[in-house]
């Protein structure tokens, strides 16, 4: 649906203030997909999403939306093409001088083709779609953040776009409201067959609704893949940091103060991180392995989360026994859970074992 | 006490009323016509100064700087000097350089650059995010000005108009000097030259009331358009 081909963006090219915002980006976003772009501030994600509707023109490269090369269009044709690409913003960008009804009618009134009767029906449809039917006469200043974003979404959808761009659309909202907006986006994707591009710095957003994610840093795509893969098996350091911020919040202080060493010595216990995924997540793995391998397994930390609809469990355990038994246990665990990672070895003697 | 009551009894209220009435009408005529024409010229000029400025959506750096320089040059002239300096232009447009109608030309020339800058500043307060949103919906530059910038800045624009009208009232008094008539002329001829304190006071009161009314109307309209 969206093809970004070899796009480069350089500000103030050829001057001393030259800034390279994007470096040779190639990206294909499929129809009906919710695609996330995540990165820290200044990574270029804002510039990237503005390339899709050409609010920012690439210095070189092509941008195709629905097989139409936007970079080749003249300004009039481009304005027309933009009508099939909706966009919502972090700061909502609603007209404060117009009420909800007129804000949503705004894009429709840009063309003189629609009668006020048609506009009225369409606005009411859109209000119902975003759940704000009773707010038509309100002004934006009378609405909450979540309601403002719903108006923004209704306005973006007014001209039946095929693509919806979300520029940090939930960054100004509290977690609960963020969630309700994301659920709305998921729902709209189903109902309207939308392709959605979300840029965000919140991993939570990606976790909740993106099918695929690109991690962007310094104007390049660092890592791109299925959301689930990215969460369970991040390759790049930045991705690991971002992922751990979102899913390992539950892991307790305990681990941070445990001294873990890299090399095994007799009597050490292995500290192992287990990753459960999908239907395996609720099997009695720990008890099984402990009995099978005759090791002592104690649970240090655990959390269960969801990535999109998929349950996703993370657990840190200590395995005590001799070297052979520990290795055997790890092997058994690997056969049972999605991923096993040995974090290191714990040399401490537990109080319980001293007496 | 007797001095005051003697003075009061000597006042010819009928004469003052007559003079005030005709002078007020002249002032109103000058101010209303000049205001309307000033707004019509200053709004496009203000919009132009904004949208062609650096980093804006219709950037034209060179022309913007030239127009900006002309505007600044006109703004640096005191109204009295401007009034005299542009007399040939006044004659060319109105046919005479004396009279109430002739006074309107320097009034307009004097306030348009000032008001255009006020408008420009007010329009600049509209968030660039709103402009971007309108662009993302496929709005043309004209539509952005007409449907985003002007409605969003309306409360400020109205306040700018209030200031403009008040400046015009004050300048129209000066225009009396070149035979423009009006309240300023009345105060000068009777109050100053003929030592008519009563007429002086009456003029001052009428001017204060006029300015108050304009300000009140402006505040009312501005708040009516303000939904923030």
Least confident stretch, A78-92, B147-161, B196-210: B196-210
Same domain, A197 and A265: no
Same domain, A115 and A168: yes
pLDDT recorded at residue A343: 82
Whether A85 and chain B come into contact, CB under 8 Å, resolves to yes
Buried residues in B136-148 as b, exposed as e (16+ CB within 10 A): bbbbebebbbebb
Under an 8 A CB cutoff, do A83 and B148 touch? no
Under an 8 A CB cutoff, do B143 and A82 touch? no
CATH number at residue A187: 3.40.50.300
Q: Which domain, by its residues, includes A92?
A: 2-247
Residues of chain A found within 8 Å of residue B135, distances taken between Cβ atoms: 55, 82
Same domain, A20 and A128: yes
Domain boundary among the residues A215, A247, A279 is at: A247
pLDDT recorded at residue A252: 54
Same domain, A258 and A241: no
Under an 8 A CB cutoff, do A96 and B154 touch? no
pLDDT recorded at residue A352: 52
What does the pLDDT look like over A227-267, one tens digit per residue?
988 888 888 988 888 887 777 654 555 666 667 777 888 87
Cβ pair A101, A145 in contact under 8 A: no
Under an 8 A CB cutoff, do B225 and A87 touch? no
Does the structure show a pLDDT above 80 at A279?
A: no
Confidence of residue A168 (pLDDT cuts 50, 70, 90): very high
Nearest to B138 among A82, A96, A140 (CB): A82
- Whole-number CA gyration radius for chain A: 25
| This prediction's pTM | 0.86
Under an 8 A CB cutoff, do B154 and A97 touch? yes
Under an 8 A CB cutoff, do A97 and B139 touch? no
pLDDT recorded at residue A16: 84
Under an 8 A CB cutoff, do A82 and B137 touch? yes
Please tell me the distance from the alpha carbon of residue A7 to that of residue B207, in angstroms, as a whole number: 64
Same domain, A132 and A239: yes
Residues of chain A found within 8 Å of residue B130, distances taken between Cβ atoms: 93, 95
Please tell me the distance from the alpha carbon of residue A217 to that of residue A309, in angstroms, as a whole number: 28
Average pLDDT, chain A: 88
The size of the A-B interface in CB pairs under 8 A is: 66
When pLDDT is averaged across residues B31-59 and rounded to a whole number, the result is 95
What does the pLDDT look like over A16-37, one tens digit per residue?
888 889 999 999 999 999 999 9
Q: Which of A51, A174, A110, A197 is nearest to B140 (CA)?
A: A110
Under an 8 A CB cutoff, do B130 and A87 touch? no
Structure token digits, residue B4: 């005051």
Domain boundary among the residues A247, A275, A291 is at: A247
Cβ pair A140, A100 in contact under 8 A: yes
Same domain, A36 and A140: yes
User: How is residue A134 annotated by DSSP?
Assistant: G
Please tell me the distance from the alpha carbon of residue B212 to that of residue B221, in angstroms, as a whole number: 14
CATH number at residue A350: 3.30.70.260
pLDDT recorded at residue B107: 94
Residues of chain B found within 8 Å of residue A91, distances taken between Cβ atoms: 127, 129
The domain defined by B13-225 carries CATH number 3.40.50.300: no
Does the structure show a pLDDT above 70 at A296?
A: yes
What does the pLDDT look like over B70-85, one tens digit per residue?
999 999 999 989 988 9
Same domain, A113 and A75: yes
Same domain, A7 and A68: yes
When pLDDT is averaged across residues A59-73 and rounded to a whole number, the result is 94
Least confident stretch, A247-251, A332-336, B220-224: A247-251
Same domain, A242 and A262: no
Same domain, A266 and A160: no
The DSSP code sequence of B92-159 is: HHHS-SSSHHHHHHHHHHHHHHHHHHHHHHHHHTS-HHHHHHHHHTT--HHHHIIIIIHHHHHHHHHH
- Tally the domains of chain A: 2
Q: What H or E segment, with its residue span, contains residue A285?
A: helix A285-293
Please tell me the distance from the alpha carbon of residue B130 to that of residue B132, in angstroms, as a whole number: 5
Whether A148 and chain B come into contact, CB under 8 Å, resolves to no
When pLDDT is averaged across residues A79-95 and rounded to a whole number, the result is 95
Nearest residue in A to B131, CA atom: A93
pLDDT recorded at residue A355: 46
Same domain, A16 and A89: yes
pLDDT recorded at residue A177: 94
Same domain, A334 and A302: yes
Cβ pair B42, B209 in contact under 8 A: no
């Amino acid at each position: 649906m969206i093809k970004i081909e070899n796009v480069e963006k350089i500000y103030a090219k050829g001057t001393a203030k030259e800034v390279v915002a994007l470096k040779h980006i190639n990206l294909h976003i499929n129809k009906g997909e919710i695609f996330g772009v995540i990165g820290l501030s200044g990574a270029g994600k804002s510039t990237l999403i503005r390339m899709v509707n050409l609010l920012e023109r690439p210095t070189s490269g092509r941008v195709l939306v629905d097989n139409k090369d936007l970079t080749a269009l003249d300004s009039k044709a481009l304005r027309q093409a933009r009508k099939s690409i909706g966009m919502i913003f972090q700061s909502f960008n609603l007209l404060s001088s117009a009420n909800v009804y007129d804000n949503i009618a705004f894009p429709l009134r840009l063309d003189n083709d629609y009668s006020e009767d048609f506009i009225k029906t369409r606005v009411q449809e859109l209000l119902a779609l975003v759940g704000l039917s009773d707010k038509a006469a309100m002004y934006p200043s009378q609405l909450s953040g979540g309601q403002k974003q719903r108006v923004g979404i209704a306005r973006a959808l007014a001209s039946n776009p095929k693509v919806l761009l979300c520029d940090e659309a939930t960054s100004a909202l509290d977690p609960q409201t963020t969630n309700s907006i994301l659920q709305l986006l998921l729902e709209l994707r189903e109902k309207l067959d939308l392709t959605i591009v979300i840029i965000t710095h919140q991993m939570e957003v990606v976790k909740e609704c993106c099918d695929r994610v690109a991690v962007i840093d310094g104007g390049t795509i660092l890592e791109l893949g299925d959301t689930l893969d990215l969460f369970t098996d991040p390759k790049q350091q930045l991705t690991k940091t971002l992922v751990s911020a979102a899913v390992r919040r539950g892991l307790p202080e305990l681990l941070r103060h445990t001294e873990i060493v890299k090399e095994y010595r007799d009597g050490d216990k292995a500290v192992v991180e287990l990753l459960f995924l999908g239907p395996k997540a609720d099997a009695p793995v720990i008890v099984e392995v402990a009995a099978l391998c005759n090791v002592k397994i104690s649970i240090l930390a655990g959390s269960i989360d969801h990535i999109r609809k998929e349950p996703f469990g993370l657990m840190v355990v200590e395995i005590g026994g001799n070297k052979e038994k520990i290795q055997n246990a790890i092997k058994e665990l690997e056969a049972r859970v999605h991923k096993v990672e040995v974090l290191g070895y714990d040399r401490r003697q537990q109080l319980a074992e001293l007496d | 006490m007797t001095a005051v009551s003697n003075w009061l009894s000597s006042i010819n209220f009928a004469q003052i009323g007559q003079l005030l009435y005709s002078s007020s009408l002249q002032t109103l005529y000058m101010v209303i016509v000049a205001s309307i024409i000033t707004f019509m010229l200053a709004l496009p000029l203000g919009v132009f100064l904004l949208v062609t400025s650096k980093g804006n959506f219709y950037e034209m750096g060179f022309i913007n700087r030239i127009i900006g320089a002309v505007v600044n040059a006109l703004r640096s002239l005191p109204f009295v000097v401007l009034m005299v300096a542009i007399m040939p232009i006044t004659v060319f447009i109105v046919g005479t350089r004396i009279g109430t109608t002739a006074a309107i030309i320097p009034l307009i020339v004097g306030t348009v650059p000032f008001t255009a800058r006020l408008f420009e500043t007010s329009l600049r307060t509209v968030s660039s995010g709103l402009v971007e949103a309108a662009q993302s919906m496929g709005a043309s530059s004209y539509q952005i000005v007409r449907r985003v910038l002007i409605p969003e800045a309306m409360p400020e624009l109205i306040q700018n108009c209030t200031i403009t009208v008040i400046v015009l009232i004050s300048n129209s008094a000066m225009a009396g000097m070149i035979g423009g008539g009006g309240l300023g002329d009345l105060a000068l001829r009777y109050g100053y030259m003929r030592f008519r304190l009563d007429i002086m006071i009456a003029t001052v009161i009428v001017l204060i009331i006029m300015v108050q009314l304009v300000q009140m109307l402006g505040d009312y309209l501005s708040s009516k358009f303000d939904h923030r």
